[in-house]
Chain A
């Protein structure tokens, strides 16, 4: 009889829905259906039974084709690469468990790696801003239960975090918000009209690259000062109107994404949005939350922070100290400047996400990619090591976009003989010890 596993946590995006129900065949080998997930989350589970799934490591041959090798061979090659390289980029981590990250960090500290995660091309700007000005924030349940003014600035949850609006930010009826979306005013501020804007009461179109100026105008308006006629294409009357409307509310929240993190100024855009949030706390309760992308990039930030004190771009290459300087120890900079000798990718796809110069640089260095799937990174690597899918075939701790830790579960068995991230990294760690002991 197939069985239904309930309270399953979805290992795709930072919304980290934990109410999925997955029906599994009675031999525990096949996922039959997924309930409650959005289309993206459901597809993550359905991936497990895609035809052509790679179940053993592959090594690139001189003619460019790939040949299957054993896990032991792959582990040995990887360990040798790590021991030999003066400075290795160990990038990714955002789609694996905290337990796996911990083992990975031990390796990095021994071999002189720079541990970086997806924040480096995503919400790193937000982390930098928080390091400069702090952040008034709250858990997603606070938004559900209290928020009556919700702003989506430069983000599009309708596409990127599909269940966010129904679980937390627009529609839920909470303890103090029994009217649901009818008791909330929703604003969408973006350079283009998105599907999220469709769910908003007010859409404000800002000229691309002028969010910093517009937020400066919001702050200036909130303090009752004069403004120029128009800022970033937004008339000053609109700004005063919205600020007044916000102040009539009790609890405001700003959700933001790549529209702020990746337009001109990057961290400064979030910095000033946070400063605006902080200002508004003089009149009402106001919080701000980053729409984290990968389901455990937040977790990588947490583990790196409690072990080394920094949330990403942690340079352990001296092995006796941890250093951090975004712009120097971040992956794209290290690759484009050729400041690393080897690359180890795990649980993300830099080949798809990094600027092309960085990808070209990576392709010229010894590179190992650990990923359940063939992706752009594996195809420029020397070795591709597939592993069990975390959150589906093996469990482990994950952190939601609001830093709440939720356990992911094993729902179905991995294909025979496959290793998990934790097992693979543990073996690499042991082989590194052997090689370094022999030196």
Chain B
């Protein structure tokens, strides 16, 4: 793996659109070519080189490319979007759309991420060491195809609208979550080790949400079925299994409806 290091040299006046900071775009390029790659602030067309000092060179392919970002990237948007392979490591917080539509590879953010991160994720690994804003792992507005695959792990808390329209993949949150978790989900798995405010699994068709802490109020459309023993992310515990959302449609398998499930640790 070859490494390209970008160090912030000036903060953008507004926010910098960094859709070109991905292993796929950097692949095969040297530092000076990378510096010439476009970046944007509104109608201003600029380059990565105006805002970052760039050292190293990329690998021949995305898979062989590692990108390290140093300095304060909290006003950089779109880092790692649509990447298929390789690694991106950010040493600060990032702004919106980090890891959006990623298909593979690994992103590590050593800070918080803003909203709309991991949108429509299809594969790969996304590690957030701080907190995440809203719409983590959600679908793009209007799209019924949300997160398809891959794994997102958050060490801190997440906001609202988490994994809306989730179809597949996994999200693990070590901290707490706010409202509207797995709304409209049709697959996938979410694990929340902390507490959830409310509205878990609203309009859920299929999928699983596992909560270790408390849920402020269970949706009326979820019905307690039985207690089960599960091993979740290395921890064994007893959970109360709920099926639902009973206000929503559900597919059938062999004539029996297949429900979404909420497991609440006892």
The reply to whether B203 and A324 form a contact with Cβ atoms under 8 Å apart is no
Asked if A327 and B179 make an inter-chain contact with CB atoms under 8 angstroms apart, the answer reads no
B142 touches A223 (CB 8 A): no
What 1/0 mask marks residues of chain B from 130 to 153 whose CB sits below 8 Å from any chain A CB? 000011000011101000000000
* Contact yes or no, A132 B96, CB < 8 A: no
Beta-carbon nearest neighbor of B142 in chain A: A131
Chain A residues contacting B203 (CB-CB under 8 Å) are: 216, 271-272, 275
In the complex formed, the residue of B with least CB distance to A318 is: B40
Query: Taking chain B's interface residues, is the majority helix, strand, or loop, or is none over half, making it mixed?
Result: loop
Cβ < 8 Å to A, chain B residues 180-208: 180, 183-184, 198-199, 202-203
User: Chain A residues near B134 (CB, 8 Å)?
Assistant: 327
Q: Tell me if B41 is interfacial: C-beta within 8 Å of chain A.
A: yes
- A residues 299-341 near B (Cβ < 8 Å) are 317-319, 324-328, 337-341
* A86 CB contact (under 8 Å) in B14, B115, B135, B165: B14
Q: Given A226-B223, A265-B199, A339-B14, are A216 and B40 also a contact pair (CB < 8 Å)?
A: no
Indicate whether A112 reaches chain B with its CB closer than 8 angstroms: yes
A residues near B144, Cβ cutoff 8 Å: 132
Q: Counting CB contacts under 8 A, is A225 at the interface?
A: yes
Q: Say yes or no: B43 contacts A318, CB within 8 Å.
A: yes
Tell me the complex Cα distance, A105–B68, Å.
40
Structural contact, B42 and A341, CB atoms closer than 8 A: yes
Given the interface pairs A132-B142, A212-B199, A318-B42, the reply to whether A86 lies near B13 with Cβ below 8 Å is yes
Docked pose: A326 CA to B141 CA in angstroms: 8
Q: List chain B residues, Cβ under 8 A from A268.
A: 180, 183, 199, 202
Q: Taking the complex as formed, is A147 at the interface, i.e. its CB lies under 8 A from any CB of chain B? A: no
What A residues does B164 contact at CB under 8 A?
132
Comparing B52-60, B214-222, B230-238, the segment that makes contact with chain A is B214-222
User: A272 CA to B247 CA in the complex, in Å?
Assistant: 10
What residues of B have a CB within 8 angstroms of the CB of A324 in the complex? 141
Do A223 and B13 contact each other (CB < 8 Å), given the known contacts A86-B42, A132-B184, A272-B202?
no
* Inter-chain contact B202/A87, CB cutoff 8 Å: no
Q: Determine whether B15 belongs to the interface, using a CB cutoff of 8 Å to chain A.
A: yes
Of the candidates B14, B116, B198, the one whose C-beta lies within 8 Å of that of A87 is: B14
Q: Would you call A228 and B180 a contact (CB within 8 A)?
A: no
- Beyond A86-B13, A325-B141, A338-B14, is A317–B221 a contact (Cβ under 8 Å)? no
Contacts of B221 in A (CB 8 A): 216-217, 219-220, 225
Query: Across the interface, which residues of B come within 8 angstroms of A213, CB to CB?
Result: 198-199, 217, 219-220
B240-260 CB contacts (< 8 Å) to partner A: 245-248
The answer for the CA separation of A430 and B223 in the assembled complex, in Å, is 64
Tell which of A212, A319, A327 touches B135, judged by Cβ atoms closer than 8 Å: A327
Q: With A326-B141, A327-B115, A341-B14 known to touch, is A216 a contact of B42 (CB < 8 Å)? A: no
A131 adjacent to B42 (CB under 8 Å):
no
Give CA–CA (A213, B197) in the complex, Å: 13
A87 to B45, CA, bound (A): 12
Check A425 for interface membership: any CB of B closer than 8 A. Answer: no
For the complex, give the distance between the alpha carbons of A79 and B159 in Å. Answer: 40
Residues in B42-80 with C-beta less than 8 Å from chain A? 42-44
Cα-based distance from A211 to B134 in the complex (angstroms) = 21
Docked CA distance A212–B200 (Å) = 11
Q: Is A264 an interface residue (CB 8 A)?
A: yes
CA distance A395 to B9 in the complex (A): 53
Q: Is A54 an interface residue (CB 8 A)?
A: no
Given contacts A112-B43, A319-B43, contact A217 B247 (CB under 8 A): yes
* Interface residue A4 (Cβ < 8 Å from any Cβ of B): no
Among the listed A128, A216, A271, A328, which residue makes an inter-chain contact with B96, where contact means beta carbons less than 8 Å apart?
A: A328
Partner of A216, one of B44, B180, B247: B247
A319's closest neighbor in chain B, by CB?
B43
- Are B116 and A328 within 8 A (Cβ)? yes
Cα distance A222–B165 in the bound complex, in angstroms: 23
Contacts of A231 in B (CB 8 A): 220
How distant is the Cα of A324 from the Cα of B116 in the complex, in angstroms?
12
A258 CB to nearest chain B CB (Å) = 19
A212–B183 alpha-carbon span in the complex (Å): 12
Separation of A338 and B75 alpha carbons in the complex (Å): 11
Check if B42 sits within 8 Å of A317, measured CB to CB.
yes
The minimal Cβ–Cβ distance linking B119 to chain A, given in whole angstroms, is: 9
Name the distance in Å between B94's Cβ and chain A's nearest Cβ.
Answer: 14
User: Are B13 and A220 neighbours in the complex by a CB distance under 8 Å?
Assistant: no
**Bound-state Cα–Cα, A13 to B183, Å:** 33
Closest Cβ–Cβ distance, residue A305 to chain B (whole Å): 13
- On chain A, the residues within 8 Å of B223 by CB distance are 225-226
Q: Is the CB of B42 within 8 A of A112?
A: yes
A111 located at the interface, meaning its Cβ lies under 8 Å from any Cβ of chain B in the complex:
yes
B220 contacts across to A, CB distance below 8 A: 213, 216-217, 220, 227-228, 231
A264 touches B41 (CB 8 A): no
Compute how far the CA of A132 lies from the CA of B41 in the bound complex, rounded to whole angstroms. 29
Closest to B42 in A: A87
Q: What B residues does A226 contact at CB under 8 A?
A: 223, 246
B45 → A minimal CB distance (Å): 9
Residues of A within 8 A of B248 (CB): 219, 275
A211 CB to closest chain B CB (Å) equals 11
Task: For the complex, give the distance between the alpha carbons of A336 and B8 in Å.
Answer: 23
Chain A 122-136 near chain B by CB (<8 Å), digits 1 or 0: 000000100110000
- Cα separation A318 to B245 with both chains bound (whole Å): 42
Contacts A220-B247, A318-B43 supplied; 17 other A-B pairs, CB < 8 Å: A86-B43, A111-B43, A131-B141, A132-B142, A212-B199, A212-B202, A216-B221, A223-B246, A225-B247, A264-B198, A317-B42, A325-B141, A327-B134, A327-B135, A328-B115, A328-B116, A338-B14
Would you list 10 pairs from A and B whose C-beta atoms are within 8 A, ordered by A residue?
Answer: A86-B41, A87-B14, A112-B42, A131-B141, A132-B142, A132-B184, A213-B220, A216-B220, A227-B220, A317-B42
Name the 8 nearest CB pairs between A and B, nearest first.
Answer: A87-B42, A219-B247, A112-B43, A86-B42, A131-B142, A317-B42, A220-B247, A225-B246
A contacts, CB < 8 Å to B: 85-87, 111-112, 128, 131-132, 212-213, 216-220, 222-223, 225-228, 231, 264-265, 268, 271-272, 275-276, 279, 317-319, 324-328, 337-341
